[in-house]
Structure 1
Amino acid sequence: MRLTRLLSVLTSVVAVTALAACGSDTDGAADATSTASGTAALDTLTAGKLTIATGEPAYSPWVEDDKPESGKGFEAAVAYAVADKLGFAHDDVVWVRTTFDAAIAPGPKDFDFNLQQFTISADRKKAVDFSSPYYTTATAIVSIKGNTGADATDLAGLKDATIGGAVGTTSITLAESEIDPSHDVQTYNSVEDSVAALKAGQVDAIAVDLPTALYLANAELDDGVVVGQLQGSDGGDEFGLLLAKDSPLTSPVTEAVDALREDGTLDELATTWLTDAAGAPVLQ
C-alpha cells in the first residue's frame, strides 16, 4: 500500500536480469531476493524489520484487545497495510509501546513509526515528522445520561456543563473555542484519565475524537451518550503516522499511505473498524 512497492519493482528487475545472466533459478528464490533487497534498502531501526509503536494500553476501535500484532482494529490494520506496501511481511513487524507525550517529544525514537491518533500540526512538526493523513476525524462530546448537557441539542445546551479532555489534544482546544463553557475546561494527562473523571462525576462530558466517543458511549460507559459533533470540526483532524524528525522513512511511508488512500484500502479499513457518525449530529 505504498511507495516501497516501487523499490520492490526495481529490485525485481535487477533480480530478473541476474537470473537471465546466470541461467535457471527458481521463481521463489527470485521473489525472496527481491523482497529482501527492497526492505534492506529502507533505513529501519533494525535491518529487515519494521518497528511500529502504539500506546500502552491501546484501545478499540484502534486496536482490538490491546493486541496490535493481531492486525485487528483500525490502526493495527493500517499499520500492517503500510508494512505490506513497504515490503515487510507480517512476521517482520515488531511492536513496541510508548506514551503519547514521549512520542511527540523531540529526540531519538525507538520505533520506525508510531500511530496512536496523532493529529498532524505545524507545532508538532517542529519536533517530529508525519506521514500524509491516514484518517480524518471530527471532535465529539460524549457524556452520561442525566449529566448536565447530556441531552443538549446545540452548543448553548453545553454552556453550563463541565467539559474535560486530554491535555494538548485538538479536541480540548476545539471544545474551548466552540462551546466557550461557563466553567473552566478540565484537562487530564490522557484520554483514559479524562474517561475516569467522567465516570467519577468530576466532569459532565469529555471532548474526544468521534470514533472514540462512539466506542465509549456504546461499550465503556454505563448510559453513555454521544451528544454530538462540534461544528468547527467539519473536515476533521488529520491523523498521521509519526516518525522521528528528518527520518529517512518519512518519504517512503508517506508514499505508502498515499497509495493506500488512492486504492481505497484506507476507506475499506475505516468502514470495517470504525463506526459511522450516525446519532452524532453537528451541534450549532
Structure 2
Amino acid sequence: MKLHLLTATVLTTALTSITFSAQAEEPLRIGISAEPYPPFTYTSSNGEWTGFEVELANAICDAMQRECEITPTGWSGIIPSLKSGRIDMIMNSMSITEARQRVIDFSSPYYFTPGAYVAATDFTDELPEGLDGKVLGVQSATTNATFARRALRDQDVDVRLYDQAEQVNRDLLAGRLDVILADEIAMREFVERDEADGFEIKATAPHHAAYGEGVGIGVRKDDDALTDSLNTAIAQINADGTCSSLSEQYFGTDVCISDE
C-alpha cells in the first residue's frame, strides 16, 4: 500500500509539473487598441499589426525569451480586459499616471512625448490662450483628455471627447473642430498626410502632472514576476540600442527613456 501511495504521489507531482510547464509556455497576450494609432500601432497591407510599439513589443518578448501574441482590444475596455485576464499586459502608449496606478501596475517607462495642438495653418491665435471661444477635440481616457480637463477648465473652450483618435482627426479635417490635442509623435504623422494639407502643429502642451512619468507597459496588480521580466527586457533593448533604432526609424528622433 505504501508503494502505491508513493507511486501515486510521484505521478501526481510529475503531472502537476508538466501542467505548470505548459502554462508557463503559453504566449503572453499583448493588448493594443483595436483602433489603429499610427505610427505606434496599425495594420500593414497584409493585414498584420505593425508599428513602433508592435516591433518594440516583439523585441521585448525576444529579450524575455517568451512567445507573445498581439490581442487587439477596444481602448475604452483595455484596462478591464487586463484585470479580467483576457490580456496579460497593455503596450499601447499608456502613460503612467497616479489614477491608473491605483488600478494596475506598470513596468518602467520606455518612452515619453508631449501633447501637441494641431490646427489649420491660418489659425494664428496663441495656444492655449487662444482657445477661448474655440472647439477642442481630444480622445477620451487619455492623458491629453486629463490635461484638458485640469489645465483648461478656467478657459471658455468647448472640449469634445471622442472614443477614437481617428474620429478626432476626421472632425478637424471636416471643420467641426478648431483645434485638436493629441500625442506629438502621432500628430507629426497626421499632418504629413495628403488630406491634412493645410494643417500643422501649432504648439506642445507644457509639462503637467496629467502626463505622468512617461509611457509604460500595464500589468495586473501584484504580477511581480512579469513586471520584473519586462523591466529587465526594457533595460536590455535600451542598452543594445534597439529602442533608439526603432524610434529613429519611425519618428526620426529618439523618444526612448533610459535609466542610464
Same fold (TM over 0.5): yes
Shift of 1:80: 0.8
Tell me if structure 1 keeps the 8 A contact 2:76–2:141: no
The corresponding residue for 1:198 is: 172
Alpha-carbon distance between aligned partners in 2 of 1:209 and 1:98, rounded to the nearest angstrom: 20
Alpha-carbon distance between aligned partners in 1 of 2:46 and 2:37, rounded to the nearest angstrom: 10
| One-letter identity of the residue aligned with 1:171 | N
Matches within 5 A, 1:238-249: 238-247=214-223, 248-249=225-226
Shift of 1:174: 2.4
Q: TM-score, normalization: structure 2?
A: 0.76
Measured at CA, do residues 71 and 107 of structure 1 come closer, stay the same or move farther in structure 2, by a change above 3 Å? closer
Measured at CA, do residues 202 and 81 of structure 1 come closer, stay the same or move farther in structure 2, by a change above 3 Å? same
1:55 matched to 2:33: yes
Alpha-carbon distance between aligned partners in 2 of 1:267 and 1:165, rounded to the nearest angstrom: 28
Q: Secondary structure at the match of 2:105?
A: strand
Shift of 1:194: 1.9
Deviations 1:105-149 (A, max 9, x none): 373222222211111112112222211111111010112334xxx
Shift of 1:212: 1.0
The corresponding residue for 2:117 is: 141
The corresponding residue for 2:90 is: 114
Deviations 1:150-204 (A, max 9, x none): 3344533343432110122211232455555422311122322222322332211
Alpha-carbon distance between aligned partners in 1 of 2:88 and 2:47, rounded to the nearest angstrom: 16
Q: Secondary structure at the match of 1:231?
A: coil
Q: Secondary structure at the match of 1:232?
A: coil
| Aligned positions, number | 230
Alpha-carbon distance between aligned partners in 2 of 1:59 and 1:174, rounded to the nearest angstrom: 20
Alpha-carbon distance between aligned partners in 1 of 2:22 and 2:232, rounded to the nearest angstrom: 13
Alpha-carbon distance between aligned partners in 2 of 1:160 and 1:64, rounded to the nearest angstrom: 35
Q: Secondary structure at the match of 1:119?
A: coil
Measured at CA, do residues 43 and 100 of structure 1 come closer, stay the same or move farther in structure 2, by a change above 3 Å? farther
Match 1:182 to one of 156, 165, 173: 156
Measured at CA, do residues 140 and 102 of structure 1 come closer, stay the same or move farther in structure 2, by a change above 3 Å? same
Alpha-carbon distance between aligned partners in 2 of 1:172 and 1:245, rounded to the nearest angstrom: 24
Alpha-carbon distance between aligned partners in 1 of 2:26 and 2:162, rounded to the nearest angstrom: 39
Tell me if structure 2 keeps the 8 A contact 1:82–1:257: yes
Tell me if structure 1 keeps the 8 A contact 2:117–2:179: yes
The alignment-based identity, stated in percent, is: 24
1:96 matched to 2:89: no
| One-letter identity of the residue aligned with 2:241 | G
Give structure 2 stretches of 5+ with no counterpart: 1-19, 255-260
Measured at CA, do residues 50 and 104 of structure 1 come closer, stay the same or move farther in structure 2, by a change above 3 Å? closer
Measured at CA, do residues 143 and 109 of structure 1 come closer, stay the same or move farther in structure 2, by a change above 3 Å? farther
Give structure 1 stretches of 5+ with no counterpart: 1-39, 278-284
Q: TM-score, normalization: structure 1?
A: 0.70
CA RMSD after TM alignment: 3.0
Q: Secondary structure at the match of 1:165?
A: strand
1:227 matched to 2:205: no
Shift of 1:71: 7.4
Alpha-carbon distance between aligned partners in 2 of 1:250 and 1:68, rounded to the nearest angstrom: 32
Q: Secondary structure at the match of 2:158?
A: coil
Tell me if structure 2 keeps the 8 A contact 1:163–1:207: yes
Alpha-carbon distance between aligned partners in 1 of 2:215 and 2:41, rounded to the nearest angstrom: 15
Shift of 1:215: 1.2
Shift of 1:68: 11
Q: Secondary structure at the match of 1:260?
A: helix
Shift of 1:261: 2.5
